[in-house]
A and B are shown apart, each in its own frame.
Chain A
Amino acid sequence: MSSLRLLASAARRAPAALSLGRRGYAEASDKINLTLVLPHQPIFTSADVVQVNICAATGDMGILANHVPSIEPLRPGVVEVVESSGSKKWFVSGGFATVHPGNKLTVNVVEAAPLEDFSAEAIRTNLQEALRVASGSGSEEDKLEARIEADVYEALQHAISK
């Protein structure tokens, strides 16, 4: 009786172990299909990557293969793409990241540049300028625009100081 139960439980366990083994072999399903595009330049088009770290409006998150479909607005910050050969970082100004059914991730951003291309000096002067306008005596709209600008520069400064 107990041997029969053992057999039954072994049989129940077997398919799970098998499928686990199969998942280990299929390299492709460990990667997510990434499309990262700017209006004027595509950065990744349907490339298979290991992981993508994004700074969503609700918090930073990492996206691996077979993520649930979701829509995440991006705030100004760093997008890191981890490929099997290494990782690369971009600073993006904002946009949307969408994980689609079928292991696909599309990221539409308005502007992005590699993190190493930024000059700390330029960021500092522009940040000061933006802060000056934000606290100045312009119209409400101008001030708000400058506030957003300053936020982007602060995020940028934070990103390159890391």
Chain B
Amino acid sequence: MLARRTLARAPPALSGTAPGNARNMATLREIELRLKSVKNIEKITKSMQMIASTKLAKAQRAMVAGKQYGVANSEVFAHSTSPSSTSNKLFIVISSDKGLCGGIHSSVTKATRRAFAGATDSPLLNEDKKAVDIDSASPIMVIGDKSKAQLSRSMSGNMRMTFNQIGRDVPTFADAAGVTDLVIKSGVPHDSVVIVYNKFVSAISYEPAAIEVRGEAGLKESEGFKAYEMEDDFTKDLAEFSLANAIYSALVEAHACEISARRNAMDNASKNAKDMIGSLQMQYNRGRQAAITNELVDIITGASAL
């Protein structure tokens, strides 16, 4: 009678584990193993979050300096706007090699696709907030393996060059200069370079943005640029130096975005792991208790049968 009552009281959710002691032990063992692995995952995500947090301060400092450098650099472009936007654009997409940082890479990838599609939320807008028409055969160069993999799925025909191993630590000017050198040496014809990167909005958000750096010819035909005096013709040097500066500025900003996105992603992952550990622990304890109760029932029924 006692046995019947205890059995009836067992929660319906655990009815699957109830029959047979051996099977019960097996599921308990499984839960224990899962619990252990989730705990290990939590340790990993937590330490990754800690690493990202410590790196973030450095990355943000570099970003502030790099941004000011970029602003000072783009001043000349702000003064020399040209009415006709150049059609021959070269895209440089800035991401990095490492994952586990949320949607930071797909953000720039999607922005590039939107720019090519001429969508209304394209990162590249002209003065009256309309998407700029882009030739679908425009060349693309990608910094970072993650966006390379994403973009080569749909736009492999446009890919000209890819870079990796940049952005493991805070990018230096030498990185940017190296990229610029290879871009210029590659001989891909272009009138202007569009850099697609992640813009740092706050510690928890970022958005894709694009900056356009005009080349030598583009600068020369601009009205505003003619206002500047030059003793010799330095336009080519200036265009190349400006490209390196713009790439540097975009690289450090994208890097800071990536680190802060990684910190947030790992923070969330740690929280989820904690939740999972809680529910698994609960399930494990319930299962253990049910197994003990079952054993007791067996013992008592055996004793009362005597």
Contacts and interface: CB of A to CB of B under 8 A. Distances in A.
By secondary structure, the B interface counts as helix
A106 to B, nearest CB: 4
Given A95-B241, A100-B76, A108-B245, A58 B231 contact: yes
Interface string A27-47: 000000001011111100100
Contacts of A71: 76, 228-230, 234, 238
B209 interface: no
Interface in A104-130: 104, 106-108, 110
A100 B234 contact: no
A90 interface: no
Interface string A67-83: 01111110000000000
Contact of B72 (A57, A58, A99, A108): A108
Contacts of B176: 39
A101 interface: yes
A37 B228 contact: no
A39 B173 contact: yes
Most chain B beta-carbon neighbours within 10 Å: one of A58, A95, A110: A110
A53 interface: no
A40 B229 contact: no
Contacts of A39: 65-66, 69, 172-173, 176, 245, 248
A8 B20 CA distance: 120
Interface in B227-280: 227-232, 234, 237-238, 241, 245, 248
A72 to B, nearest CB: 8
B73 A108 contact: yes
A157 interface: no
A102 to B, nearest CB: 9
Given A68-B229, A69-B228, A71-B234, A42 B76 contact: no
A67 to B, nearest CB: 9
Nearest to B69: A37
B23 interface: no
B68 interface: yes
Nearest to B226: A69
Interface in B51-90: 62, 65-66, 68-69, 71-73, 75-76, 79
B232 A58 contact: yes
Contacts of A45: 68
Nearest to B62: A40
B228 A70 contact: yes
A73 B69 contact: no
A40 B173 CA distance: 8
A20 to B, nearest CB: 26
A104 B227 CA distance: 14
Interface of A: 35, 37-42, 45, 57-58, 68-73, 95-96, 98-101, 104, 106-108, 110
Interface of B: 62, 65-66, 68-69, 71-73, 75-76, 79, 172-173, 176, 227-232, 234, 237-238, 241, 245, 248
Given A38-B69, A70-B230, A73-B237, 19 more contacts: A35-B68, A35-B71, A37-B65, A37-B69, A38-B65, A39-B245, A45-B68, A57-B232, A71-B229, A71-B230, A73-B234, A96-B238, A98-B75, A99-B228, A100-B76, A101-B79, A106-B72, A108-B69, A108-B241
16 contacts: A35-B75, A37-B65, A37-B68, A37-B72, A39-B248, A40-B173, A41-B65, A42-B68, A69-B228, A70-B229, A70-B230, A71-B76, A71-B234, A71-B238, A73-B234, A100-B76
